[in-house]
Amino acid sequence: MPKPIVAIVGRPNVGKSALFNRIIGERLAIVEDTPGITRDRLYRETEWMGKPFLLVDTGGITSNKKDVFDVKVYSQAMLAIDEADVIWFVVDAREGLHPLDREIADLLRKAQKPLILVANKADTYDPALASDFYALGFGPPVLVSAEHALNLGDLLDRTVAEFPPQEQEVEEAIRVAIIGRPNTGKSSLLNAILGEERVIVSPIPGTTRDAIDTPFQYGGTNYILVDTAGIRRKARVEEAVEYYSVLRAIRAVERADVVLVVLDATDFLAEQDKKVAGIAHEAGKAVILVVNKWDLVEKDSRTAQVFIERLRTELSFLEYAPVLFISAKTGQRVQKVLPEVFNVANEYSKRIPTRALNALLREALLRHQPPSRKGKQLKVYYATQVKVKPPTIQLWVNDPALMHFSFRRFLENQIRANFGFTGSPLHFLVRAKAKA
């Protein structure tokens, strides 16, 4: 299920970015005393008490509707609020209630989302600092200090208590997310897939926070297709970044088993394509690369091979992903998409028997000597698959520091050559064997 989203909003210079940085444990957002320095929404995954969530920072909301910069910051904050499951409304405990706080409070009431009023810069726990903010109508604020890390545990406890309950899937189905930059033909692909021998089980409308889920059956298998808005490239420095579409895509990917990364054959492998594909890879999802608009490309006997070679070079981290050349507009090879999804989903769920895995490991170690460093050689004692989706192999060794990237790649290639895992990432956990 998708991770909850917590949006940090408020007027400029109340310490939103300092709070964001303190929670995620790194200085991702720029913190300065100049109001409005955080222009665009920033997001980062974090967790509290074993519950992961996405924390989203926003620029300060002002009442200036004439300045283009302030209007863009405002629109970005509103989009973050629309996506949020929980809102942190941050005010300045030292400065007290500000007229702009009242305006923002009116906006947030209309959102009708779980909201926690956070009075930042409370360097000492003094209940008198909270008195002004009761006038906002959100109850007592949580007094915190991002600078000194005071009372953040209470804030996070209250936050996770507001998370929506995890939904239970009624039926087992293969979830398929369709992602890509704008105008690659994602919606056309979805419509082309649904237009061929479809049996709609029950349309489930998405909420304002999720893309629309479309359940259907094909070949006796249940599928759920999730369409997403196009992920735009990072705009020029003076323009707002399209985090809204990125957040939606991240959510769709998190909920998916298989991700279709749609590429435009007529504008092949823009830099943003690599970033989009990276979202699926980093999430550990099965991936199929779908090159759309193939009907518009002038071809000879080597055209497809040239495209594949470029894909393997520029998207080397997705070497395991199969490639389909299609035209959603004409229907060319669209019928191959779902069978490939079915195959890749099975590979993503595949489990290797421990005995077979260790037999392969012994054979591989005879053919390729493990690396050594400073006279000490890596010894691999045992392997077992500890999970699926994604398939994850745990290796017990004498010293994990000796596991060189190239040797890990060698082992991955050996496993893939013998057991497949087409379209699926393969993760490794390297652990030191306890001494007897």
Instruction: Report pLDDT digits (tens) over 192-221.
Output: 888 743 433 333 333 223 345 677 888 889
Number of domains in the chain: 3
Mean pLDDT for 156-175 is 79
Residues 309 and 338 in one domain: yes
Residues 425 and 337 in one domain: no
Residues 248 and 336 in one domain: yes
Residues 361 and 322 in one domain: no
Q: Name which residue leads in pLDDT, 66 or 419.
A: 419
Residues 31 and 136 in one domain: yes
Q: What is the pLDDT of residue 26?
A: 58
Residues 129 and 178 in one domain: no
Looking up residue 307, the CATH number of its domain turns out to be: 3.40.50.300
Instruction: State the DSSP H helix or E strand holding residue 110, giving kind and residue range, or none if neither.
Output: helix 99-111
Q: Rounded CA gap, 102 and 96, in Å?
A: 12
Mean pLDDT score of the chain: 83
What torsion, rounded to 10 degrees, do the Cα atoms 321, 323, 328, 334 define? -90
Q: Which range marks the domain in which residue 138 is found?
A: 5-161
Mean pLDDT for 35-54 is 69
List b or e across 128-156, with b for residues whose CB sees 16 or more CB atoms inside 10 angstroms: ebbebbeebebeebbbbbbeeebbbeebb
Residues 204 and 342 in one domain: yes
Would the CA dihedral through 47, 48, 49, 53 be positive or negative? negative
Name the range with the highest mean pLDDT among 51-65, 203-217, 414-428.
414-428
Domain's final residue, options 325, 348, 371: 348
Mean pLDDT for 24-41 is 49
Asked which of 89-103, 226-240, 328-342 is least confident by mean pLDDT, the reply is 226-240
Residues 328 and 180 in one domain: yes
Quote the tokens at residue 336.
Answer: 């191959």
Cβ-based neighbours of 184, under 8 Å, separated by 6 or more? 230, 262, 263, 264, 292, 293
pTM, to two decimals: 0.65
Residues 203 and 278 in one domain: yes
Q: Give a yes or no: residue 168 inside a domain.
A: no
Q: Rounded CA gap, 61 and 71, in Å?
A: 9
Q: Give a yes or no: residue 167 inside a domain.
A: no
pLDDT level of residue 166 (50, 70, 90 thresholds): low
Instruction: Decide: 44 and 54 in contact? Cβ < 8 Å.
Output: yes
